Amino acid sequence: MAEQPRFLIVDDEQEVCNFFSYLLKQKGYAAVTANTGAEASARLEQYNFATALVDLKLPDANGLDILREIKNVQPQCEVIIITGYSTVKSAVEAIQLGAFDYVEKPFVDINEMEHLLDRSLNVKEESEKLSLARQELGFVVGNSQKMLGLVSAAQKIAKKNITVLIQGETGTGKEVLARYIHSASHRCDRSFLAFNCGAFTETLLESELFGHEKGSFTGAAQQKKGIFEQANKATLFLDEIDSASPAIQIKLLRVLETGEFLRVGGEEMCKVDVRIITATNADLAAKVADNRFREDLFYRLDVASLTIPPLRERPDDIEIFIDYFLKKESAAKQIPIKLFTDDALAVMKKHRWPGNIRELSNTVAQALLLCKGALIDVEDLPERIRKNTAEPEQILQDTAEGKNSNGVLFSGIVEDGAGLNGLLESFQEALFESIKIRDGFDFDLFCRDINQWRDSLIAGIIEAALEDTYGNQVKAAKLLGITPRALRYHLQKARNNRK
Ligand SMILES: Nc1ncnc2c1ncn2[C@@H]1O[C@H](COP(=O)(O)OP(=O)(O)OP(=O)(O)O)[C@@H](O)[C@H]1O
Ligand SMILES: [Mg+2]
pLDDT in tens, 291-341: 999 999 999 999 999 999 999 999 999 999 999 999 999 999 998 999 999
pLDDT of residue 415: 60
Distance of CA 455 to the CA centre of its chain: 28
Residue nearest ligand 1's atom 1 by CA:
140
* Nearest residue to 47 via CA among 39, 55, 36: 39
Residues of the chain scoring pLDDT < 50: 389-408
**Which of 164, 356, 357, 491 best tests ligand 1's pocket when mutated (most atoms within 8 Å of CB)?**
357
- Per-residue pLDDT of 63-95, as tens digits, reads 999 999 999 999 999 999 998 766 778 888 899
pLDDT of residue 411: 52
Whether residue 10 lies inside any domain: the answer is yes
Residue nearest ligand 1's atom 31 by CA:
176
Which residues have a Cβ under 8 Å from the Cβ of 121 and sit 6 or more positions away?
5, 50, 51, 78
**Domain final residue, candidates 362, 386, 410:** 386
**Which of 319, 320, 358 best tests ligand 1's pocket when mutated (most atoms within 8 Å of CB)?**
358
Please give the Cα distance from 231 to 311 (Å, whole number).
32
Q: How many domains does the chain have?
A: 4
Residue 169 Cα to ligand 2 midpoint, Å, equals: 9
Residue nearest ligand 1's atom 12 by CA:
358
CB 417 within 8 A of CB 408: yes
* Model confidence, pTM: 0.76
Whether residue 11 lies inside any domain: the answer is yes
pLDDT of residue 403: 30
**Domain final residue, candidates 246, 279, 307:** 307
Q: Which atom of ligand 1 is closest in space to residue 178's alpha carbon?
A: 18
Whether residue 374 lies inside any domain: the answer is yes
Residues spanned by the domain of 13: 6-121
Q: Do 205 and 277 fall within a single domain?
A: yes
pLDDT of residue 378: 94
Task: Point out the ligand nearest to the CA of residue 138.
Answer: 1
Residue 137 Cα to ligand 2 midpoint, Å, equals: 15
* Nearest residue to 167 via CA among 471, 493, 488, 475: 471
Residue 177 Cα to ligand 2 midpoint, Å, equals: 10
Q: Do 149 and 295 fall within a single domain?
A: yes
Whether residue 126 lies inside any domain: the answer is no
Q: Give residues (CB < 6 A) around ligand 1.
A: 138-140, 168, 170-176, 281, 357-358, 361
Residue nearest ligand 1's atom 29 by CA:
358
Residue nearest ligand 1's atom 6 by CA:
173
Q: Do 249 and 156 fall within a single domain?
A: yes
Q: Do 338 and 356 fall within a single domain?
A: yes
Q: Which atom of ligand 1 is closest in space to residue 169's alpha carbon?
A: 25
